[in-house]
């Protein structure tokens, strides 16, 4: 019997406390013997989604026992959250629970941040003896629980409310810059401490105060909220309070289970969070236990960064000339996504069909298989039951949807940094090659290959001529026509393709470039340069019997004496 599944709809994976909503939901769902399937973008806080919201179109609500809508995770895309709400209302007939504020469900779970801000403010009052404390951030119309917690602590401990003011300014860093300027100019009386609505605002305030010559914590103590990675920077650690996001996600799943089964389940409550002290309030660094945990995290991340750099995924993928080569490269480098127990690449063809290709070493298939509409996997080849949590993320390049990638984990996990790079490389290859990971053997299948190669003007491998190379610039691979390249130059053990306006690094060595362009109008003119003869504007003979080749008014190269004879013969001089 197939296990019941819970669909989690998330805005994006950010690599901060926002991911804890998903971790808490996954953990509790697994305890209740559900499998979770999370649909998420990879945009990481940018306003432009690059049309990655296409990932939500693959959700078939009929496959799930219930839905968790993580409205909190759409903080940068509130308009998109409303669109997803409409999709849920129109198509979903199973129970829905919301993390955040939404009208798609009567069951909404929000963070009780009031108690957290009471604790932060009380720390400044009781430990540091602060009496004039400001609250920075948020909107006056919000009537948020964070500012209410601040006010509660002020009233409880008998502070003067006129001296403990609230300075609204939204959730962006502009308010921090303004407060620092106003304090420095005397427009705002200098406080003893400032409680900021988020760690990002707190860290921005610390930097802005420093630029105005105001010291933290000597002149002003600063605290933040949500244990964002920026709070643990190497300059000055920020006193902060971790968000109870995991607990919130677990509670949401517990309620969803009750709606699905009609049975209440007692949930084991996790220990309450506590203040993490940093240098910004004068307490010093965070506790040794917390520091040890973060050091281990940093070591793991550094090791994975090394793996990714040494894996040279982007260069390897751009070298793939056939579908088989591409598949082998992806399989050989699946280790670049750590802790995964499953990896599949599902790509669209020109008929709107999905082809699934498992890439995991522990799942062996003969090739790509068609996926029934509305499903994620082939019906005759489902992933093993040991996979408890699946993440479905988009394959999008420059706003074009090429399908999606599914990563499966046995344990609750949210992973995004290198998965984002992995998906970007795959989508780039689809963009450049106009093909996907489908085995094509019969004539019928050839007409259904991804993106229809012939329609895109891409020749088959047998008849394809070498008239392009791939060059790298700003961490992106570009398809360069040979006719647009003025010359190739070897410099400092690297080879560059020079065009009229740009310079790109290529993977080939100079002798390989010569072979690649053997039947073209290219020739070596020195130990370090291979020249496009068709881009010569004029030739100037020098007294030392060498030649100066003018390519543009600003660009020229020199033909060395060892190659001058062949050069003159090629040009008929």
CATH 2.40.50.1020 region(s) of the chain?
A: 468-571
The CATH topology of domain 113-242+275-295 is Rossmann fold (3.40.50)
Burial class (CB in 10 A: 0-12, 13-18, 19+), 345: buried
Q: Is the distance from CB of 67 to CB of 36 less than 8 angstroms?
A: no
- Length, in residues, of the chain: 573
How far apart CA 162 and CA 134 sit, in angstroms, is 10
Other beta carbons within 10 angstroms of residue 473's beta carbon come to 14
Quote the pLDDT of residue 312: 79
21 contact partners, CB below 8 Å, separation of at least 6: 10, 70, 72, 73, 99, 245, 246, 248, 249
CA 293 to chain centre: 23
In this predicted model, what pLDDT tens digit does every residue of 62-96 receive, in sequence order? 999 999 999 988 877 888 888 899 889 889 999 99
State the DSSP H helix or E strand holding residue 540, giving kind and residue range, or none if neither. strand 538-541
How far apart CA 347 and CA 395 sit, in angstroms, is 8
CATH of domain 313-446: 3.30.450.40
Domain 468-571, architecture per CATH? Beta Barrel (2.40)
24 contact partners, CB below 8 Å, separation of at least 6: 245, 246, 247, 248, 249, 250, 253
Quote the tokens at residue 468.
């392009």
Segments of the chain with pLDDT less than 50:
286, 289, 435-465
Quote the pLDDT of residue 292: 64
Residue 87 DSSP label: H
Pick the CATH number of 5-111+245-261 from 3.40.50.12780, 3.30.70.100, 3.40.50.2300, 3.90.1170.10: 3.40.50.2300
Q: Which residue is associated with the tokens 């003969």? A: 366
State the DSSP H helix or E strand holding residue 67, giving kind and residue range, or none if neither. strand 66-70
Residue 534 DSSP label: G
How far apart CA 83 and CA 85 sit, in angstroms, is 5
Spatial CA neighbour of 156 closest among 188, 190, 133, 189: 133
CA 270 to chain centre: 29
How far apart CA 360 and CA 498 sit, in angstroms, is 40
Quote the pLDDT of residue 27: 94
In this predicted model, what pLDDT tens digit does every residue of 463-486 receive, in sequence order? 334 578 888 887 777 888 898 999
Q: Is the distance from CB of 188 to CB of 198 less than 8 angstroms?
A: no
| For the chain, percent of residues with pLDDT exceeding 90 | 34
How far apart CA 36 and CA 412 sit, in angstroms, is 9
CATH 3.30.450.40 region(s) of the chain?
A: 313-446
How far apart CA 448 and CA 560 sit, in angstroms, is 52
CATH 3.40.50.2300 region(s) of the chain?
A: 5-111+245-261, 113-242+275-295
In this predicted model, what pLDDT tens digit does every residue of 386-414 receive, in sequence order? 899 999 999 988 888 889 999 999 999 88
């Amino acid at each position: 019997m197939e296990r019941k599944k819970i669909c989690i709809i998330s805005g994006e994976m950010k690599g901060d406390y926002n991911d804890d909503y998903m971790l808490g939901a996954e953990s509790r769902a697994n305890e209740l013997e559900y499998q979770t399937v999370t649909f998420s973008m990879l945009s990481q806080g940018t306003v432009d989604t690059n049309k990655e919201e296409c990932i939500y179109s693959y959700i078939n609500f009929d496959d799930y026992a219930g839905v968790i809508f993580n409205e909190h995770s759409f903080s940068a895309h509130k308009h998109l959250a409303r669109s997803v709400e409409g999709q849920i209302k129109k198509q979903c007939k199973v129970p829905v629970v919301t993390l955040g504020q939404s009208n798609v469900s009567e069951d909404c779970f929000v963070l009780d941040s009031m108690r957290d801000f009471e604790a932060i403010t009380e720390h400044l009052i009781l430990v540091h003896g602060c009496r004039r404390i400001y609250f920075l951030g948020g909107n006056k119309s919000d009537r948020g629980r964070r500012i209410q917690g601040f006010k509660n602590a002020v009233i409880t401990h008998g502070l003067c409310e006129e001296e403990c003011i609230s300075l609204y300014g939204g959730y962006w860093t502009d308010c921090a810059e303004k407060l620092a300027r106003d304090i420095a100019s005397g427009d705002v009386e200098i406080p003893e401490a400032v409680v900021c609505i988020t760690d990002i605002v707190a860290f921005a305030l610390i930097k802005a105060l420093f630029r105005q010559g105001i010291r933290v914590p000597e002149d002003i103590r600063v605290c933040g909220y949500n244990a964002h990675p920026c709070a643990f920077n190497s300059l000055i650690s920020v006193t902060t309070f971790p968000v109870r996001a995991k607990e919130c996600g677990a509670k949401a799943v517990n309620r969803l289970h009750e709606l699905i089964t009609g049975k209440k389940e007692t949930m084991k409550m996790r220990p309450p969070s506590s203040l993490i002290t940093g240098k910004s309030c004068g307490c010093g660094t965070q506790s040794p236990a917390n520091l040890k945990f973060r050091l281990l995290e940093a070591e793991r991340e550094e090791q994975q960064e090394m793996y990714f750099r040494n894996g040279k995924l982007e260069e390897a993928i751009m070298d793939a000339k056939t579908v088989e080569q591409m598949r082998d490269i992806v399989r050989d480098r699946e280790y670049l996504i750590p802790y995964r127990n499953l990896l599949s690449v599902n790509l669209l063809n020109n008929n709107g069909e999905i082809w699934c290709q498992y890439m995991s070493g522990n799942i062996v298939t003969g090739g790509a298989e068609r996926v029934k509409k509305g499903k994620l996997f082939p019906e005759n080849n489902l992933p093993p039951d040991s996979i408890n949590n699946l993440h479905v993320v988009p394959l999008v390049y420059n706003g074009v949807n090429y399908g999606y990638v599914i990563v499966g984990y046995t344990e609750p996990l949210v992973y995004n940094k290198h998965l984002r790079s992995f998906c970007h490389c795959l989508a780039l290859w689809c963009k450049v090659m106009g093909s996907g990971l489908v085995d094509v053997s019969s004539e019928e299948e050839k007409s259904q290959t991804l993106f229809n190669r012939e329609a895109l003007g891409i020749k088959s491998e047998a008849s394809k001529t070498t008239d392009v190379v791939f060059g790298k610039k700003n961490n992106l691979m570009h398809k360069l026509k040979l006719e647009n390249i003025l010359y190739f130059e070897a410099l400092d053990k690297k080879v560059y393709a020079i065009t009229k306006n740009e310079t790109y690094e290529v993977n080939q060595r100079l002798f390989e470039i010569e072979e690649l362009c053997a039947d073209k109008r290219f020739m070596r003119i020195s130990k370090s340069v291979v020249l496009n003869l068709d881009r010569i504007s004029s030739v100037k003979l020098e007294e030392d019997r060498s030649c100066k080749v003018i390519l543009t008014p600003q660009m020229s190269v020199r033909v060395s004496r060892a190659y001058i004879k062949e050069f003159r013969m090629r040009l008929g001089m």
